[in-house]
Every structure is written in C-alpha cells, then in structure tokens.
Amino acid sequence: MKERLAMAVHDEIASLVRRAAEIVVFSGAGLSADSGIPTFRDGATGLWNNVDPDEVASIDGFMRNPRVVWNWLRELKNLVDDRQPNPGHRAIARLERIVADKRLTVVTQNIDGYHSRAGNADVLEVHGTIHRLRCHARCGFADEWGEDLREPFPCPQCGAPARPDLVLFGEALDPEVFTAAGRRSARADVFFCVGTSFTVQPAAHLPVWAKASGATVVEINPHRTPLSEVADYSIRAGASQFFAALCQTLAPDAVDATDA
C-alpha cells in the first residue's frame, strides 16, 4: 500500500486509468457531506444523533409505525432535494466523459441520486434511492416520490404498504443490484473508493473482491479507514480535489463548462 499525503494526482494513477478497460468508483456518505447531507454517525452532525434508527429507519419500525418512518424519510428527502451535487460528484461525472472509451461504473451506498444528477450514466445504487416509492410486497408497483405523496398509502395494485425504495435496517440489499455491483467490481482494472468508512456490510466487501480479482484499489479519504492497509493507494484528500486533479492530468486541454 502506498499512502499519499499530498492532494496532487500522481502520473502513475492516471497511467493506470489510461490502460484500464473497466473502472469502478465506489462512493459512500462522505462524498455527499460536502453537499450538506449529514453522514450517519459523524460528530455533532450525524443523522443518528437525535433519533433512534430502529424507530425511523428500520423495517421493524416501518411495520410498527409506517407513518413515523415515512415522515422522517420525507424530511430527509426534502433536505436532499434542497441541496445539489458537489464538485466531487461533478468531477466523477467528468471523469466518465473523459474515459468514454472505457466502462466506468459508479457503485454508491448513497440514496440521494446526486451521481445521476451530476451526469454519471451508469450508476448502481446498492442501498436504493430516496426519490422513488415501491410496493413493499414487490408486486411491481413503483413511482416517483412526488410532493403530492405526503402520507403513507396502500399499493394501488395489490394493497400492500407502499414505501420508500431504499434499504432499511434489517433488510437485505436488492440481490439483482448487488450482484451487478459485485460483477463490475470483480471485472474492474481500477477501483476507486471515496467517502466511505468501509464498515457497512455487505457493500464493504466490494473493494476486497475487486482487489482479489486483480484490480488496483485506490482509496480517497481525508481519514484512515480499515481499507487503508490493504488499498494499493490510500490518498489523503477529498473527492473534489482528487478527481478534479485526475481529470486535469488525463485531459489537460479539455474545457468542460458543466464543471463550473
């Protein structure tokens, strides 16, 4: 593992990207913190500081009192809707455009949808999304979570509860989405990890699977994590600095108005 304390992108990482056919960017809550979305357990601003996660974000809580879970998640959605993708999201989207001859997949634990809003086309949301509702019984009903849907309601197709289409505590990940994420990770030549503490399972297995399959694993995080010891590169920087510098190294003459 080569730990980099400087924020500059090193030519050797850009060279790895140039030679790669498959690239994965794996993101967690730390990436969206710069958009004003609190991480879950961080200091005085963590989402869980003033609530019981079992009451507001678990499947057991939803079955006991769906209105409490619905209302808390709706407030979180309002916060997400009020914020914007940050320069880190936009730099990752720009990287996808720069390496258009390769396959770049974003695998995210975040439910905010900011990668797609920033411009990434190939996004796997392993924890779901706060922008969509679905039938709890998975009968096939799904709909955008619009402003007019402010109260819990039964599925219009089968009568089971409708609910936010995200993974609550006590639930398994969507097997189709996670299987796709695992396959992309195993095929990656370069696997970037950004803004994640690597403590949330099973998503934390993805960089380990990638490395075991031969990928170069690059961690971008201002702080050390459990992945730091096994990553090929552990870079002490934020996403915006790192990916903006990487894009500049890969395409120094490119002008991209969407980065403004």
Long-range contacts formed by 11-14: CB under 8 A, 24+ apart: 11/249, 13/190, 13/218, 13/233, 13/246, 14/246, 14/249, 14/250
Q: Is 89 an active-site residue? A: no
- Of these residues, 127, 131, 136, 223, which one is catalytic? 127
Token pair 């400087």 is found at 6
d(C-alpha 204, C-alpha 180), whole Å: 15
Distance CA 134, CA 178 (A): 18
Q: How far, in Å, CA of 81 to CA of 108, rounded?
A: 18
Contact (Cβ atoms closer than 8 angstroms) between residue 157 and residue 140: yes
Q: Which residues pair with 154 in a beta bridge?
A: 161
- List residues with catalytic annotation: 127
